[in-house]
Amino acid sequence: MLTYAGNGYSAPFVANFDAIAQRISDGRQTVEITSGPDDICAPLVCGSDDHCTGASVRQRDRLASEDISNLLGLQVVPGLQIPLSIEHLAELRLAFAAGRVRRACEGCQWKPLCDGIAQQGFAGTRLLPVL
């Protein structure tokens, strides 16, 4: 979410992610940790062979949960709800840019794009505010 800039797998995916990013940016939604595909993945989940249920995605989710747990000092588990305050976003973005919460990025097709966005101070991302 931190590097989402309107790029995605399909037009329905982008439209859905835009709506979610807007709700979070407006302060109308907390993030709920799930096991498996979430609301962002909804447009991609179309059968037993979808990307979001693959072993590599589950491994990346596990690594991301561990990194965020360590950063925030809480156990990131399914059902946990996290309000994304300006302070939380700033902390997450700083840690992402510094590489402290990036283990899940290895092997991801979007890594080069996310690297560039982080290097540019998250300019152009849809999740606001960018500090």
pLDDT score at 50 = 66
pLDDT score at 131 = 56
Region 10-34: mean pLDDT is 88
The predicted-structure confidence for 38-63, as pLDDT tens digits, reads as follows 888 887 776 555 667 778 888 988 99
**Mean pLDDT of the chain, nearest integer:** 87
Backbone angles phi, psi at 57, to 5 degrees: -70, -45
- Specify the range with the lowest mean pLDDT, choosing from 46-50, 64-68, 102-106, 114-118: 46-50
pLDDT score at 94 = 95
Region 86-98: mean pLDDT is 91
**With contact defined as beta carbons under 8 Å apart, do 78 and 33 qualify?**
yes
Q: CA-to-CA distance for 115 and 6, rounded, in angstroms?
A: 15
Q: Above pLDDT 90, what percent of the chain?
A: 47
Region 109-122: mean pLDDT is 93
Q: CA-to-CA distance for 26 and 37, rounded, in angstroms?
A: 23
